[in-house]
Amino acid sequence: MNVQLWVWLVTVGIWAVFLAVDLFVVGRRPHEPSTGESLRHLAFFVTAALLFAAGVWLVSGPGYAGQFAAGWLTEYSLSIDNLFVFMIIMSKLRVPRALQSSALFIGILAAIALRAAFIAVGAAAINRYSWVFYLFGLFLVFTAGRLAHETGHETGEEPPRDPRIVRWLRRRVPTSEDFHGSKLTVRVGGRRAATPMLVVVAALGATDLLFALDSIPAIYGVTREPYLVLTANMFALMGLRQLYFLIGDLLRRLVYLSLGLAVLLAFIGVKLVLHALHENTLPFVNGGRPVDWAPDIPIWLSLAVILATLATTAIASLVRTRGAPAG
């Protein structure tokens, strides 16, 4: 896929405009979005992603369009799990509903920066060392096993402890008791102090780092095109704030979300290992020659598995929690 520099610049420029509007227009008035507002924004971003996929199909063919769709769905599903953790952080740190939108925006900006850095590093490593796919694949299989053993969503166990950066901030940095809008610091008693919003941002940033470690290897399992990796992440992050408020209580009903993501990551991890075997250059594996029996899983099969896994996870979760009280 040959993407000209001007296409990269236009793509990033358009996305920067959306972020600027979100920050300087929507973000000027911190509030909890209404259902109608959330639906309109979410419908716009999903439609934009589908139109982009159609554009990729027209310009570069169905193969690349399928890669984008698979990557977008994978990143979107991982982002939903990210939202669940955000919900726990917001609840634990008692963030007012009116300020949660601003906190989410900052968290999404952190996710953008981290994923962009990881995408660049991942692309450079893949182009230079084909054996990196072994590492990505094994890491995803390990992550899948960890997710499969998570029971916090289903059992109502206590959420995990605050990230270390939050505990460090509370020990080392003077912190005010109350929120002061979306301000990160205020002057209290003649000296500068952090607000609880800064603690929230630190928690969200630490969470973003962990999820970026999972999401970048996952998307490289369905496409090796840096442009598609970037745009799939861009569209997956757009509209997350609105999705957070729109499906709030529904997130708590997705009791099999961790299990579904475990299946998804395990499949992609195995796919990456098979791909690495298919293009093997490691001297201690099959004498440094490609492994003939290792298949390269086609994108249509990857897309089918992703859709089936997400649909099964959602249906099974809603069936299990049918009739349960909201919240």
Residue 316, pLDDT > 80, answer yes
185-201 confidence digits (pLDDT tens): 787 777 788 777 888 88
54-110 confidence digits (pLDDT tens): 999 999 999 999 999 998 988 888 877 777 777 777 777 788 877 777 777 777 777
Q: Give the contacts of 89 (CB within 8 A, at least 6 positions apart).
A: 200, 203, 204, 207
Residue 118, pLDDT > 60, answer yes
pLDDT band with cut points at 50, 70 and 90 for residue 158 = very low
Residue 156, pLDDT > 50, answer no
Average the pLDDT over 268-281 and give the result: 82
The owner of tokens 């206590």 is 158
pLDDT of residue 64: 93
Residue 3 and residue 124: Cα distance in Å, rounded? 16
Residue 123, pLDDT > 50, answer yes
pLDDT of residue 248: 64
160-188 confidence digits (pLDDT tens): 555 566 677 677 777 777 777 777 778 77
Average the pLDDT over 26-34 and give the result: 61
Whether 229 contacts 103, CB under 8 Å: no
Residue 72: left (phi > 0), alpha (psi -120 to 50), or beta?
alpha
Residue 43, pLDDT > 90, answer no
Average the pLDDT over 273-280 and give the result: 80
pLDDT of residue 69: 92
Residue 244 and residue 86: Cα distance in Å, rounded? 9
Q: Quote the percentage of the chain above a pLDDT of 70.
A: 87
Residue 96: left (phi > 0), alpha (psi -120 to 50), or beta?
beta
pLDDT of residue 228: 92
Residue 157, pLDDT > 50, answer no
pLDDT of residue 238: 79
User: Would the CA dihedral through 250, 149, 260, 118 be positive or negative?
Assistant: positive
pTM of the model: 0.73
pLDDT band with cut points at 50, 70 and 90 for residue 52 = very high
Whether 256 contacts 37, CB under 8 Å: no
Please name which of 215, 260, 213, 221 lies closest in space to residue 137, comparing C-alpha atoms.
Answer: 221
pLDDT of residue 165: 62
5-21 confidence digits (pLDDT tens): 898 899 888 888 877 77
pLDDT of residue 50: 93
Average the pLDDT over 267-291 and give the result: 81
Residue 299 and residue 92: Cα distance in Å, rounded? 40
pLDDT of residue 120: 80
How confident is the prediction for the chain on average, in pLDDT? 78
pLDDT of residue 250: 65
Whether 134 contacts 276, CB under 8 Å: yes
